Amino acid sequence: MPKIFIDNTSYEVKAGKNVLEACLTLGFDLPYFCWHPAMGSVGACRQCAVKVYKDENDTSGKIIMSCMEGVRDGMHLSIDDKAAKAFREQVIEWLMTNHPHDCPVCDEGGSCHLQDMTVMTGHDYRRYDYKKRTYVNQYLGPFIHHEMNRCIQCYRCVRFYKDYAGGKDLNVFAAHNHVYFGREKDGTLESPFSGNLAEVCPTGVFTDKTLRQHYTRKWDLTSAPSVCQHCSVGCNTIAGERYGGLRNIVNRYNAEVNGYFLCDRGRFGYEFVNSENRITKPQVMHQAVDENALMHHLETVLTNHSLIGIGSPRASMESNFALLDLVGKENFFCGVYNEEMMLERRITDILDSGKIPVASLKQIEDADAVVILGEDIWNTAPMMALAVRQSVMKTGGREATEKTPMPEWHELAVKELQQNTKGFMVNVTVTETSLDEIASLNINAAPDDIARLGFAIANHIHPSLELKNFEEAVLAKAKTIADELLKCSNPVIITGTSCYNDPVLRAAFDIAAALKAAGKAPAIAFVVPECNSMGLAMMRGHAFDTAVRRVNREPNVTAVILEQDLYRNLPAGIVDEFLSKCRNIIVLDSLNNATTEKAHVLIPASTFAEGDGTLISYEGRAQRYYQVYVPDNKYIRESWKWLSRMKMIISGKANGHDPHHDSVISSLETALRQFAGISAAAPSSGFSIHGEQIPREPHRYSGRTAMLANRNVSEPKPVADGDSPLSFTMEGYQGTPPSSAIPFFWKPGWNSPQAVNKYQQEIGGDLIGGNPGVRLFVKSSGNMPEFFKDYPEHFRERQNKWLLLPQSHVFGSDELSVYSAGIAGRSPEPYMGLSPVDAKMLDVTEGSQVTIKSEKEEYSFPVKIVESLRNGIVLVSKGLPGTQGMSWGNWVELAK
């Protein structure tokens, strides 16, 4: 390790880093703007100047930009040097000649990197007495507010939006003192990663527009570590509350998962928590009741009836387990058909076998080749798509710089050398996707053909099966891909359930297994539909078909349905049949939907913001989310608390205490072996540091003694949290909490999100104490053939029948996030995609209404002609109004 001298003290630093990273890692406060750990150095802002000396005898030295200089062994530098300090102060002074003094009314105030840096450099007096330049701001859509006057020209926004995330509609215009960052004209920022601008921008040019609707300063938020609920990736978030409403979601750094960023669905989808549509009171037969009446009624419906439970892919492990515990393992079902469940079972079987490791987002970013089979990850797991983009770009950069001494962090130089060089990425999907433009090869095919191509690739890498009836063209493509993959060392294979096709999953495994046999280090990622789909799949409940048969057979069944709208995933006819046969229907959920309407007993469940829970992401990573605030409404409780109470009713201990989170988790670990280790996802509720809990409120939290004075002039006693080591107060341990329990990032002098620097072992590296979450698929327990080899038949069009497949949308396909106005506004109108040939055959044109007939249901949508779609497939927007309960993956009839 190189040894460097900072102000005459020696330090060991990591080789290959730049001086700024090294100084920040060592804990020095060195100001910067344009540098970002995820985006490298460009040396534009001149803020991070330090003095470097030739050797220990050199006393004059020279000023350099620390972000543009690599560390060298024996390097002598000074941060405290007078000239360097004056230089840094002067840079801020220049920036401030045009920056408005509107901090008190600026949304960024209190979490502003520019404020922090200004204080850090000591600039406090304006000598420049001319006018400040002003701009016209733009309307940028429902998520981002624009205020160009505050701009300090660091270029981070365009570097993130265009270079990092591949956006096209944000750019920089003009030059000199009138540089403008914005769109070509007013309009919604199209990238699904636009929300990150609010955190990437070091000042208040781009701010969270949803927060503006109910603005609160960062220091006034009660916040807790949380986990995103809107897809299976499991990005780490921080959720903030004030006055009983959820105010915002910001990124919570996790080096292995989402790093510094979030997608807009995750960042702005939170408003469902504050929705008018929340269930606020228990209801019996659609009549609101109080708790006594509810308990009394529950006693009659729970005892003397046979109980079945329907587990939920969007409810926590705790709630699903409490349900399983209530009804018994043999009576625990999932709200999906057998075919879909078999897909998820296939995935857990493969991951359980431990043959191929699961790829975290970090591993995807670092992969030197990516193969995507049949999953439109841009829409089903946006952050994974962003990770794939990094793999393609970084690998391209690495290849281009291999023979030069250029370090990876030198973004400008790497970009110059890289030009159009990209890493290898094959995107094999049913239709075109937003990732196509960076793919080395795009192939659009029917699911069975995607699988066949996959098997052919596997066979080229490691000949193991006799391929019969394969077209020459497919074999040639497979050979090209296989040859490229054999040049790589750590490729990642990504697939998922969106094709509703088991062979696709098996083919993905075979490619990975073949690569492993060829001496590579492959990893695999399976995208599943919901935030806890993986957890539910691991519980191995029975399919919904079995539940329907059960209620048809048995007359006296009480069904307990956990946090899901059955009508979304199952045909309405089947759900109607099921519900009509149940003697009693108990539904626990947070928002009203078609299923809650049918409930005989409806119980208000908490959302992620009002309760504790653990979710298991696509990588089998168990991650804990914490209750953010105690809702005024005492009926809103975690489903697992309600379900445990129901269990007490059955066992005749109705007056017992509610169980604590720790006991639920430890029962889960004991009862279901596959979840062993899940308790390590977060510290237990008894955890404390020097006898102190971790406060959810910053020490500057204001108004505590007065904010509820309209109700009671005495300050209420803080609620004790029996479920976690976090407290609902400002008091408590002020140091760095365990990495899985960080309620907000703050360190003295660092109020902005950039305070995360101080929580990392090294800049851009793991959090101190390791990254949050435990991966449950680490032990190889299951059996798995070496290769599946069983490739399907070639996809054949059928007479008058079409294969129904889903088209997911970042905005709209997720059930909960559409209750946020901004997300709802960006959801597309549902449509039906047909190939040009099929459209011609049916004699329909773009926009014609066509009806889909499947089993008992009929759905009608306008046609969209999709050039890239194969004949014989019909594509329908998933999850949008009117597309619920469609039998994806089945053959349907179409009629004009």
**Residue placing its CB nearer to another protein in the complex, 149 or 666:** 149
Closest CA to 326 of 612, 641, 590: 641
**Residue placing its CB nearer to another protein in the complex, 182 or 631:** 182
| Minimum CB distance to another protein, residue 170 (Å) | 9
Residues 537, 776 contacting (CB under 8 angstroms) = no
In the beta sheet, which residues pair with residue 892?
A: 802
| Minimum CB distance to another protein, residue 161 (Å) | 12
Site string for another protein, 416-435 (x = CB under 8 A): ----x---------------
- Choose the binding region for another protein from 166-174, 317-325, 339-347, 384-392 (rule: CB under 8 A): 166-174
Burial class (CB in 10 A: 0-12, 13-18, 19+), 412: middle
**Residue placing its CB nearer to another protein in the complex, 89 or 190:** 190
Tell me: does residue 148 bind another protein (CB under 8 A).
Answer: no
How far apart, in whole angstroms, are the C-alpha atoms of residue 860 and residue 501? 25
Which of 26, 120, 172, 412 touches another protein (CB under 8 A)? 172
Which of 5, 53, 139, 180 touches another protein (CB under 8 A)? 180
| Minimum CB distance to another protein, residue 178 (Å) | 9
**Residue placing its CB nearer to another protein in the complex, 171 or 464:** 171
Tell me: does residue 173 bind another protein (CB under 8 A).
Answer: yes
Site string for another protein, 246-285 (x = CB under 8 A): ----------------------------------------
How far apart, in whole angstroms, are the C-alpha atoms of residue 792 and residue 787? 14
Closest CA to 456 of 503, 519, 391: 503
In the beta sheet, which residues pair with residue 442?
A: 427
| Minimum CB distance to another protein, residue 179 (Å) | 9
How far apart, in whole angstroms, are the C-alpha atoms of residue 723 and residue 696? 14
Beta strands at 3-6 and 75-78: parallel, antiparallel or unpaired: parallel
Which of 54, 62, 132, 168 touches another protein (CB under 8 A)? 168
**Residue placing its CB nearer to another protein in the complex, 168 or 779:** 168
**Residue placing its CB nearer to another protein in the complex, 421 or 761:** 421
| Minimum CB distance to another protein, residue 185 (Å) | 9
| Minimum CB distance to another protein, residue 176 (Å) | 8
DSSP 8-state class, residue 647: H
Residue for token pair 């030069």: 404
Which of 56, 73, 184, 186 touches another protein (CB under 8 A)? 184
- Choose the binding region for another protein from 85-93, 174-182, 470-478, 876-884 (rule: CB under 8 A): 174-182
Site for another protein in 788-807 (CB under 8 A): none
C-alpha torsion sign, points 279, 282, 284, 288:
negative
In the beta sheet, which residues pair with residue 604?
A: 589
- Choose the binding region for another protein from 83-91, 101-109, 170-178, 656-664 (rule: CB under 8 A): 170-178
- Choose the binding region for another protein from 175-183, 275-283, 383-391, 439-447 (rule: CB under 8 A): 175-183
* Number of residues binding to another protein, judged by CB under 8 A: 11
Closest CA to 362 of 825, 766, 658, 805: 766
Site for another protein in 363-422 (CB under 8 A): 420
- If DSSP states are collapsed to H, E and C, what string results for 88-144? HHHHHHHHHCCCCCCHHHCCCCCCCHHHHHHHHHCCCCCCCCCCCCCCCCCCCCCCE
Which of 183, 267, 410, 637 touches another protein (CB under 8 A)? 183
**Residue placing its CB nearer to another protein in the complex, 102 or 184:** 184
Residues 94, 132 contacting (CB under 8 angstroms) = no
Site string for another protein, 846-875 (x = CB under 8 A): ------------------------------
Q: How much helix, strand and coil, in percent to the nearest 5, is found in the chain?
A: 35, 20, 45
Tell me: does residue 171 bind another protein (CB under 8 A).
Answer: yes
Tell me: does residue 218 bind another protein (CB under 8 A).
Answer: no
Which of 8, 55, 59, 175 touches another protein (CB under 8 A)? 175
DSSP secondary structure letters along 781-837: -S---S----PPPPP--BTTBEEEEEE--TTTSSTTGGGSHHHHHHPPPP-EEE-HH
How far apart, in whole angstroms, are the C-alpha atoms of residue 893 and residue 861? 13
DSSP 8-state class, residue 254: B
In the beta sheet, which residues pair with residue 240?
A: 223, 248
In the beta sheet, which residues pair with residue 181?
A: 172
**Residue placing its CB nearer to another protein in the complex, 93 or 169:** 169
**Residue placing its CB nearer to another protein in the complex, 62 or 168:** 168
Burial class (CB in 10 A: 0-12, 13-18, 19+), 8: exposed
**Residue placing its CB nearer to another protein in the complex, 105 or 174:** 174
**Residue placing its CB nearer to another protein in the complex, 417 or 492:** 417
Tell me: does residue 436 bind another protein (CB under 8 A).
Answer: no
Question: Where on the phi/psi map is residue 683: left (φ > 0), alpha (ψ -120 to 50), or beta?
Answer: beta
| Minimum CB distance to another protein, residue 94 (Å) | 18
| Minimum CB distance to another protein, residue 171 (Å) | 5
Tell me: does residue 169 bind another protein (CB under 8 A).
Answer: yes
Residues 246, 610 contacting (CB under 8 angstroms) = no
Tell me: does residue 437 bind another protein (CB under 8 A).
Answer: no
**Residue placing its CB nearer to another protein in the complex, 54 or 168:** 168
| Minimum CB distance to another protein, residue 825 (Å) | 23
- Choose the binding region for another protein from 168-176, 312-320, 441-449, 609-617 (rule: CB under 8 A): 168-176
- Choose the binding region for another protein from 46-54, 172-180, 283-291, 618-626 (rule: CB under 8 A): 172-180
How far apart, in whole angstroms, are the C-alpha atoms of residue 236 and residue 759? 15
Tokens of 126: 């304006």
Residues 234, 773 contacting (CB under 8 angstroms) = yes
**Residue at 120: amino acid letter:** M
How far apart, in whole angstroms, are the C-alpha atoms of residue 181 and residue 204? 13
How far apart, in whole angstroms, are the C-alpha atoms of residue 849 and residue 797? 22
| Minimum CB distance to another protein, residue 168 (Å) | 6
- Choose the binding region for another protein from 1-9, 169-177, 230-238, 826-834 (rule: CB under 8 A): 169-177
Tell me: does residue 174 bind another protein (CB under 8 A).
Answer: yes
Burial class (CB in 10 A: 0-12, 13-18, 19+), 212: exposed
Beta strands at 62-65 and 857-865: parallel, antiparallel or unpaired: unpaired
**Residue placing its CB nearer to another protein in the complex, 178 or 840:** 178
| Minimum CB distance to another protein, residue 197 (Å) | 16
**Residue placing its CB nearer to another protein in the complex, 438 or 605:** 438
Tell me: does residue 156 bind another protein (CB under 8 A).
Answer: no
Q: Which residues bind another protein (CB under 8 A)?
A: 168-169, 171-175, 180, 183-184, 420
